[in-house]
């Protein structure tokens, strides 16, 4: 539950900041008249995200066991790929996020009215689909999927509240530290999801070596113990992984953590700012 809560919190806050930047900029340039189009695009993105989550939740039940394992393993690996790209991109480009969004809005305002809809749809829809896919992969690999989904929902609700308070100027947080800590956490969670996805593909016969156990930690960390349950629920810990699972987990953790830290250190640490309309003047 904690893993999905933090996933929902991070992705929800990122989407909330994006929406806040778009709205604040449109008001700043005196184009509040196009806000309904922006909200139309954002609404469509939310519907797409919810539809993606519903399809992932109820779609696989008509498949055979092998088909479910192939679909689950493939989507888990896809979710890891998307989240890895998101974490690394945010580590490098968070400082330019505001100017990039404003550039898209300038082009959309100058063009057809549908451009505003597309800006809202693409910028929010990308976050929503990534969140739905990764939360599904993480919850599907845990012992209590409904609890995991509840954690993600609570994280998103809290993110919306925090984003609103930031936008109104009531709350200030260090976004650089926030995205650094949650990014590192997501890397560890993604490594566990990757290992679980490979296990699914091994059970389906797509990847060989299902019986080639690397080691066993079941005695030191019993799966039924409270700490074994916590590790499994948060990080998808497997006490008896196959060699393919263990090597994929270890290789991903080393490569992605190194790349993430390098990108985080190579950029300035100035936080993203939300500029309010002239009457407010609050700043992040």
Q: pLDDT tens digits, residue range 66-112? A: 777 888 888 888 888 888 888 888 777 666 666 777 777 777 776 65
Whether the predicted pLDDT of 276 surpasses 60:
no
Quick one: average pLDDT of 170-193? 81
Instruction: Tell me the two tokens of residue 211.
Output: 């019986």
- Burial class for 228, CB neighbours closer than 10 Å (0-12, 13-18, 19+): middle
Q: Hey, how many other C-beta atoms are within 10 angstroms of the C-beta on 113?
A: 11
pLDDT value of position 248: 92
Distance (Å, whole) CA 216 – CA 117: 53
Instruction: Tell me the two tokens of residue 13.
Output: 């806050």
pLDDT value of position 282: 37
Q: pLDDT tens digits, residue range 105-157? A: 777 776 656 777 887 888 788 778 878 887 777 766 655 566 767 778 888 88
Quick one: average pLDDT of 249-270? 82
Q: Hey, how many other C-beta atoms are within 10 angstroms of the C-beta on 81?
A: 13
Quick one: average pLDDT of 2-31? 80
Please, which pLDDT band fits residue 61 given cuts at 50, 70 and 90?
low
Of the two residues 178 and 196, the one the predictor is more confident about is 196
Residue ranges of alpha helices (H) inside the chain are 2-28, 35-58, 65-93, 97-110, 114-140, 145-168, 175-203, 226-235, 243-266
Of the two residues 61 and 14, the one the predictor is more confident about is 14
Instruction: Tell me the two tokens of residue 96.
Output: 């330019």
pLDDT value of position 278: 44
pLDDT value of position 279: 41
């Amino acid at each position: 539950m904690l893993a999905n809560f933090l996933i929902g919190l991070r992705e929800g806050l990122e989407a909330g900041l994006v929406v806040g930047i778009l709205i604040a900029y449109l008001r700043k340039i005196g184009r509040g008249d196009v806000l309904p189009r922006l909200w139309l695009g954002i609404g469509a993105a939310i519907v797409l995200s919810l539809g993606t989550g519903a399809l992932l939740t109820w779609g696989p039940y008509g498949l055979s066991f092998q088909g479910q394992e192939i679909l689950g393993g493939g989507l888990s690996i896809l979710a890891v790929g998307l989240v890895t790209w998101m974490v690394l991109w945010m580590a490098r480009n968070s400082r330019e996020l505001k100017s990039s969004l404003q550039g898209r809005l300038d082009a959309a305002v100058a063009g057809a009215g549908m451009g505003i809809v597309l800006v809202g749809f693409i910028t929010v829809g990308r976050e929503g689909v990534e969140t739905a896919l990764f939360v599904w992969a993480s919850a599907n690999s845990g012992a209590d999927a409904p609890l995991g989904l509840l954690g993600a929902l609570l994280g998103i609700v809290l993110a919306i509240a925090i984003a609103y308070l930031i936008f109104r100027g009531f709350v200030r947080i260090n976004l650089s530290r926030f995205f650094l800590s949650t990014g590192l956490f997501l890397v560890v969670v993604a490594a566990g999801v990757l290992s679980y996805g490979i296990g699914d593909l091994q059970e389906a016969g797509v990847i060989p070596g299902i019986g080639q156990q690397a080691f066993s930690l079941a005695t030191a960390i019993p799966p039924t113990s409270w700490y074994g349950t916590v590790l499994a629920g948060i990080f998808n810990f497997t006490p008896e992984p196959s060699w393919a699972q263990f090597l994929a987990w270890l290789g991903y953790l080393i490569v992605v953590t190194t790349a993430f830290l390098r990108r985080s250190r190579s950029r300035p640490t100035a936080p993203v700012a939300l500029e309010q309309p002239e009457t407010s003047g609050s700043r992040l």
